């Protein structure tokens, strides 16, 4: 619980009152960039361009009373989105050399600039955005700025690091199987994974690189739940709606969370209690049909990724090349069967949302990934928690454990029905206010 203004509110107010200026903000952002021990929060820094743009902002948006919502706010973007004048690496040195410099901005980058934001650079990611740990053989493993012994999680690894180190107030990420939710959870941040419907369409992926189009969504990482509605509205045009009340929230039972570490279970219990205090009714849900989710997700994902990167597998890390090779071997008949199973799964998810308004699920069974340790086993364990929302195309907010005094790194997924993004963000934002 807090009565202090949120980070976005505080910075906006300071700009309005002329207590700071965009150039000072851009300069401070640049001074904090790549502040982690691995010095790889960003794969491309744009400090010079950011300072120049910051100096120009008062002229670009001369009417002080009608400045756009992110005027002077530093927001990083994942290096799978084009930014004019830079090369998009997708976390791969092969693509960094192959891809030409972008001549125009991706849709996401252009939205940020039109909203007045400053873009400090393009952030680290797992190769091809195809991983969950934040490890990268080409650019080094991304460790947390606050603790060099811990990986950030991935694939939006640098996005999380940029917010944690303070070089960005918020970060643009992507989420296919958990790539926003997991780094947000492990780094003590808030994450927002947009509904698949919000992220669909050629326009929103213009100048961006897909991993698996059936599941790829856009997202955000930031510090404070209260900033979610304003950020999502400014960037993704998510409607700002009244806060829903007296919600029915379904939570996964012990049969699902059997592999959770004690810290995660402590946070899970704390969030259930917190939600009850905020007037929600909590009931356990039957997740037996989720047992199929990892197989359906991983196989379709591998097949789609294999098509995108066909003929180039040898240029990537062995584990990723192996997944791509497997993906290429999946037959049309197998895919047809999997898509039928996906349709059934989505129908079952719809039935679940007839009974409850939201779902509460841990983001991961662990609260930390130690740098330098073998993490090859963890991908499957984490994806069991994240892929149900991915298959359903569901909007999700990551609730940081620290927000209510629970152990660090113990983020929870608060999941809504498709296209209920505005209501989800509004409700999540209300959770930091004292209960009525």
Residues assigned a catalytic role: 78, 155, 179
- What are residue 251's DSSP bridge partners? 284, 360
Spatial distance between the Cα atoms of 362 and 286, rounded to a whole number of angstroms: 15
| DSSP state for residue 222 in the 8-state scheme | E
Angle at 61 between CA 57 and CA 67, to 5 degrees: 110
User: Hey, is 249 helix, strand or coil?
Assistant: strand
What are the backbone dihedrals phi and psi of residue 291, each rounded to the nearest 5 degrees, phi first? -60, -25
103 burial (CB, 10 Å; 0-12 / 13-18 / 19+) is: exposed
Spatial distance between the Cα atoms of 219 and 192, rounded to a whole number of angstroms: 5
Contacts of 129 (CB under 8 A, 6+ apart): 78, 80, 90, 91, 154, 155, 156, 174, 176, 179, 209, 211
Spatial distance between the Cα atoms of 287 and 307, rounded to a whole number of angstroms: 32
User: Hey, is 275 helix, strand or coil?
Assistant: helix
H and E: helices and strands count for the chain: 15, 13
Spatial distance between the Cα atoms of 294 and 177, rounded to a whole number of angstroms: 9
Angle between helices 22-32 and 47-60 (to 10 degrees): 160
SS3 helix, strand, coil % of the chain, rounded to 5?
45, 15, 40
Contacts of 121 (CB under 8 A, 6+ apart): 33, 42, 43, 44, 45, 46, 47, 50, 76, 162, 167
């Amino acid at each position: 619980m807090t009565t202090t203004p949120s980070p976005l509110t505080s910075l906006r107010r300071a700009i309005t009152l002329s207590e700071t200026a965009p150039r000072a903000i851009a300069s401070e952002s640049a001074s904090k960039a790549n502040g982690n021990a691995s010095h790889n929060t960003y794969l491309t820094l744009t400090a010079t361009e950011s300072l120049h743009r910051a100096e120009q902002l008062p002229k670009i948006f001369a009417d002080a009373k009608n400045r756009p919502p992110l005027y002077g706010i530093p927001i990083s973007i994942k290096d799978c989105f084009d930014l004019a004048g830079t090369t998009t690496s997708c976390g791969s040195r092969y693509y960094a050399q192959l891809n030409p410099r972008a001549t125009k901005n991706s849709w996401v980058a252009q939205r940020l600039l039109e909203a007045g934001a400053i873009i400090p650079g393009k952030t680290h990611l797992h190769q091809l955005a195809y991983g969950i740990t934040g490890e990268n053989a080409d650019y080094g493993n991304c460790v947390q700025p606050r603790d060099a012994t811990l990986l950030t999680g991935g694939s939006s690894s640098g996005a999380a690091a940029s917010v944690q180190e303070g070089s960005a107030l918020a970060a643009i990420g992507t989420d296919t199987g958990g790539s926003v939710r997991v780094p947000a959870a492990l780094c003590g941040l808030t994450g927002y994974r947009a509904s698949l419907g919000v992220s669909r369409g050629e326009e929103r992926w213009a100048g961006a690189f897909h991993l698996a189009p059936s599941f790829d969504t856009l997202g955000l990482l930031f510090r404070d739940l209260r900033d979610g509605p304003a950020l999502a509205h400014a960037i993704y045009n998510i409607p700002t709606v009244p806060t829903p009340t007296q919600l029915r929230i379904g939570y996964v039972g012990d049969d699902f969370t059997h592999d959770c570490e004690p810290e995660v279970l402590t946070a899970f219990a704390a969030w259930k209690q917190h939600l009850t205090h905020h007037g929600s009714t909590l009931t356990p849900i039957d997740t037996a049909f989720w047992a199929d989710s990892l197989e359906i997700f991983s196989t379709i994902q591998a097949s789609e990724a294999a098509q995108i990167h066909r003929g180039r597998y040898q240029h990537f890390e062995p584990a990723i090349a192996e997944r791509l090779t497997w993906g290429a071997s999946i037959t049309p008949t197998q895919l047809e069967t999997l898509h039928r199973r996906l349709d059934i799964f989505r129908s079952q998810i719809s039935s679940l949302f007839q009974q409850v308004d939201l779902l509460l699920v841990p983001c991961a069974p662990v609260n930390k990934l130690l740098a330098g340790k073998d993490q090859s086993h963890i991908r499957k364990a984490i994806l069991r928690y994240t892929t149900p929302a991915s298959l359903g195309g569901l909007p999700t907010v990551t609730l940081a454990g620290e927000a209510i005094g629970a152990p660090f790194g113990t983020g929870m997924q608060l999941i809504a029905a498709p296209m209920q993004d505005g209501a989800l963000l509004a409700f999540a934002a209300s959770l930091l206010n004292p209960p009525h």
